[in-house]
Amino acid sequence: MALPSRLAVTAAVTTAVVAAALVGCGSGSPFKNNDEAQALIGKRIVGMQAGDFFQTFGRPRSRTEQPDGSALYLWESAVGSTPPGPFGEDERICRLRVMADKRGRIEGASVLADFQGRTSTSRCSELFR
């Protein structure tokens, strides 16, 4: 039985490494312009009291009072029991900027980062479905 040439082995290994890198790039990258997730979030939380949102989905990372009495929040989903992926468990998050009026009612939210979810390509969509 003839052994493969050194050049053939090197080419096969290089191809496998490049293919693995490309797969990793697609699954671990966050995206901000996910129209489906943005629409789900809008339908689910706009008009909700900010306190109710944070009680249901977790505390905000930060709160910034605005001069007009409204508040701007930075919120990030908890990773929970999601098993680590190729880049560690921190990749499975949804990060939002939440704007609430001076009465505490959510006026809007924008997706800052939407990483791969547990069962789909959008963690934000999974959380707010």
What is the pTM for the complete model shown? 0.69
Give the chain's domains with CATH numbers: 30-128 (3.30.1450)
Contact 60, 54 (CB under 8 A): yes
Query: How far apart are the C-alpha atoms of 118 and 102, rounded to whole Å?
Result: 35
Instruction: State pLDDT tens for residues 3-51.
Output: 555 554 444 444 443 333 333 444 455 665 678 899 999 999 999 999 9
Kindly report which listed range (43-57, 80-94, 95-109, 114-128) carries the lowest average pLDDT score: 80-94
